């Protein structure tokens, strides 16, 4: 749909809508709460500085022995990952309802033994900026901040070409550079609020990063997956050794086998201070970053059908990775 552009501030317009939005997410979660009432538990973990909710959809028994975290949308322009995670959630919940099986395991067994903690849009403010520009933000102070960043970075009309590449949150902090994993030694190249890369004044200072950190500390996950785009690659290393390295590499291979994405352990050429890095370095959790798609982000809608098919069984294989690991001890 098109956003009504009559509300113009300083000759600026809200940009044309594009992609899976925060409102789409809210609508879908409302539907899920009704049709999957006994399977998917939906809660709000936090509210962003611009007033948007960071939602969690949980599938599995509250007392399940094992727990997996899967999240998407930590970067604004990577909103196709949000749509993907929501579709995978519906598919998995439907399989439980229909008493289906996967590789000899019933979905009820998956439900009973492992809880999935699903955060489909960690950075809803960033997604909104990428899709509709800063004038779609709720608070004037946030609109002013984002426009100031745009002016400083040399944005020119048409504004859509600049804002569609926005990765940061509404503070101008790149949330996936805000975790305590070589954060102090990382030079982000900007050192001030920006559309991407700025690591923030301190590790974990953003509400979005802190929400993930506190949830991880509380739940002590067996596995985590961070969905990003693009590259069709699976990053699994942050210099871990021994048993943790073996488990993480095995996890990456399992997901690679079903998605066709290439496992990559060359972490030293990547920027540090991401969630996956922190989960491995500080929490010793086998953790992956899955980069969907092969084009530049934001990915074109035409790429979605193939991506959806590639990731169809990521939930199932993540649970199996835990179960198989237990049985092989």
Q: Is the pLDDT of residue 14 over 70?
A: no
Confidence of residue 10 (pLDDT cuts 50, 70, 90): very low
> Does a structural domain hold residue 1?
no
Q: How many domains does the chain have?
A: 1
Confidence of residue 157 (pLDDT cuts 50, 70, 90): confident
CATH code for the domain of 196: 3.40.630.10
> Does a structural domain hold residue 6?
no
Supply the residues annotated as catalytic: 291
Q: Looking at residues 262-286, what average pLDDT do you find?
A: 96
Coil, helix or strand at residue 89: helix
The pLDDT value recorded for residue 158 is 82
* Per-residue pLDDT tens digits for 93-124: 999 999 999 999 999 999 999 999 999 999 99
Q: Is the pLDDT of residue 314 over 50?
A: yes
> Does a structural domain hold residue 4?
no
The parent domain of residue 300 ranges over 22-327
* Among candidate residues 86, 78, 123, the one with its CA nearest the CA of residue 292: 78
* Among candidate residues 132, 141, 118, the one with its CA nearest the CA of residue 50: 141
Q: pLDDT > 90: what percent of the chain?
A: 89
Q: Is the pLDDT of residue 250 over 70?
A: yes
Q: Is the pLDDT of residue 325 over 90?
A: no
> Does a structural domain hold residue 102?
yes
For the record, the structure tokens of 100 come out as: 């289906």
> Does a structural domain hold residue 243?
yes
Are 259 and 38 in contact, with CB atoms under 8 Å apart? no
Place of tokens 């790149």: 174
> Does a structural domain hold residue 37?
yes
Confidence of residue 328 (pLDDT cuts 50, 70, 90): low
Q: Looking at residues 13-18, what average pLDDT do you find?
A: 55
Place of tokens 């102090």: 184
Are 233 and 262 in contact, with CB atoms under 8 Å apart? yes
Q: Looking at residues 155-172, what average pLDDT do you find?
A: 93
Q: Is the pLDDT of residue 201 over 90?
A: yes
> Does a structural domain hold residue 155?
yes
> Does a structural domain hold residue 210?
yes
The pLDDT value recorded for residue 242 is 97
């Amino acid at each position: 749909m098109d956003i009504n552009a009559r509300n113009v501030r300083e000759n600026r317009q809200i940009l044309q809508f594009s992609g899976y939005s925060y409102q789409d997410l809210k609508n879908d979660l409302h539907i899920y709460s009704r049709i999957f009432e006994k399977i998917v538990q939906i809660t709000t973990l936090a509210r962003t500085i611009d007033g948007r909710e960071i939602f969690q959809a949980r599938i599995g028994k509250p007392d399940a022995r094992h727990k997996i975290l899967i999240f998407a949308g930590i970067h604004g322009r990577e909103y196709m990952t949000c749509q993907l995670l929501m579709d995978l959630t519906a598919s998995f919940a439907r399989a439980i309802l229909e008493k289906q099986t996967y590789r000899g395991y019933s979905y009820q067994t998956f439900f009973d033994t492992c809880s999935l903690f699903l955060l489909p849009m960690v950075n809803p403010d960033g997604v909104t900026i990428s899709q509709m520009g800063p004038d779609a933000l709720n608070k004037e102070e946030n609109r002013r901040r984002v426009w100031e960043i745009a002016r400083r970075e040399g944005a020119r009309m048409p504004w859509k070409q600049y804002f569609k590449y926005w990765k940061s949150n509404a503070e101008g902090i790149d949330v996936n550079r805000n975790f305590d994993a070589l954060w102090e030694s990382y030079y982000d190249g900007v050192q001030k609020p920006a559309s991407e890369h700025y690591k923030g004044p301190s590790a974990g200072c953003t509400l979005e990063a802190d929400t993930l950190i506190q949830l991880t500390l509380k739940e002590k996950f067996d596995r985590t997956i961070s969905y990003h785009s693009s590259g069709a690659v699976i990053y699994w290393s942050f210099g871990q050794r021994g048993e943790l390295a073996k488990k993480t590499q095995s996890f990456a291979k399992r997901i690679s086998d079903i998605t066709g994405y290439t496992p990559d352990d060359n972490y030293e050429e990547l920027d540090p201070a991401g969630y996956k890095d922190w989960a491995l370095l500080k929490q010793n959790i086998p953790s992956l970053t899955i980069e969907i798609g092969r084009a530049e982000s934001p990915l074109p809608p035409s790429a979605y059908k193939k991506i959806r098919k590639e990731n169809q069984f990521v939930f199932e294989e993540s649970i199996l990775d835990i179960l198989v690991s237990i049985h092989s001890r």
